[in-house]
Each structure stands twice: as structure tokens, then as C-alpha cells.
Structure 1
Amino acid sequence: MKPSKEAIADWCQQYVAHLLEVPVDAVDPDADFDRLGVDSALAVSLLIEVEERYGVDLAPEALFENPSINAVAGYLYEQSQQRVA
């Protein structure tokens, strides 16, 4: 069963909180990554983890085109649905 968009967003929020060493509730899933303090190195780390966890290949541009946790979760969810179809 494929994860829901909400489950993906929750995991990404927890992962970003871990990377930034802040409480999960301090990470706004609608905030742009740069506002959260996610630099390019952290973004690449997130990209690698997301690819491994969800089995989806993401171009680095995907994070720039979807610059928040909720946007990435939506993108990942769409990609995972396309793989099923």
C-alpha cells in the first residue's frame, strides 16, 4: 500500500526537524525550506532519504520546484500514484 500524502508530509517534517535539531512542531510544513533553515546540503540529504524510503527517483530540481514539506509530499504522492498506474 502506498503512503498517503499526509504520511509522507509527517515523515518529511520529522526528518527535517531531526536534521535541524529542533522539535517537530517547530517545523512548519507550509514554510519554504530556506525559511526553515534548510540549506542545499540538508536538501540533498532529504532528497536521498526520500528516494530510499519511498522508492521514487527525484531530480534535485524537484525540491526547488516544490520548496516546502507539503509541496514535496504532494509531489511524491503524485509520483508514487503514477508508478502504480
Structure 2
Amino acid sequence: MSPTPQDVSTWLTDKIAFYLEVPSDHIAPDVKLAEYGLESVYALALCGDVEDEYGIEVEPTLAWDYPTVEALVGLIQERLAAVPAAG
């Protein structure tokens, strides 16, 4: 069963908050991650986290190409929908 957009949003928000060392409720879904000061090393780590968590491949430029949590959720949902169901 694929995660809901809310599940993905919560996961991303928690992961980004961890990297930024701020509470997750400080991360707004429509604010560019660069505005929070997400460093490139963490943006790259986020790519690996997304690939590990969801089993999809993403580009290393993920956080720049999809600069908000909302945009990232949309991409992840799109990629998950394109993955054939196991079974």
C-alpha cells in the first residue's frame, strides 16, 4: 500500500526538521527549503533518504528542482504511482 500524501509530507517534514535541528512544526510545506538554510550536504542526504524510504530513484538536484515540501510530496507520489505494485 502506497503512503498517502500526508504520510509523505509528515515524513519529509520530520526529516528536514532533523537536518535543520528545528521542531517539525517550524517547517511550512510551501516555503522553499533554501529559505530555511538547508545546506547542500543535507539536500543530498535527503535524496538518499527518499530513495531508501520509498524505493524510488531521485536526482541529486531534488531539493533544488522541487524546492518545497509540497513539491517534493508531489514528485514522490508521482514516482510511487509509476512503480509497479509488488505481488
TM-score normalised over the length of structure 2:
0.90
Segments of structure 2 that go 5 or more residues without pairing to the other structure are none
Residue 41 (structure 2) pairs with residue 61 (structure 1):
no
| Counterpart residue number, 1:19 | 19
Q: How far off its partner does 1:15 sit? A: 0.6
Residues 24-81 of structure 1 show CA distances to partners (whole Å, capped at 9, x for unaligned) of: 1111121101001112111011111110000000012332221111111110000000
The ranges of structure 1 where at least 4 consecutive aligned residues each deviate by more than 6 angstroms after the TM superposition are: none
Q: Which amino acid aligns with 1:30?
A: D
Supply the RMSD in Å over aligned alpha carbons: 1.3
Unpaired stretches in structure 1, ≥5 consecutive residues: none
Count how many residue pairs are aligned between Structure 1 and Structure 2.
Answer: 85
SS at match of 1:28: coil
Contact 2:12 2:69 in 1 (8 A): yes
Identical residues among aligned pairs (%):
29
Greater relative contact order structure (CA < 8 Å, 6+ sep): 1
CA contact (8 A) 2:56 2:79 kept: yes
Q: Indicate the residue corresponding to 1:9 in structure 2.
A: 9
Which structure has more helix as a fraction of its residues?
Answer: 1
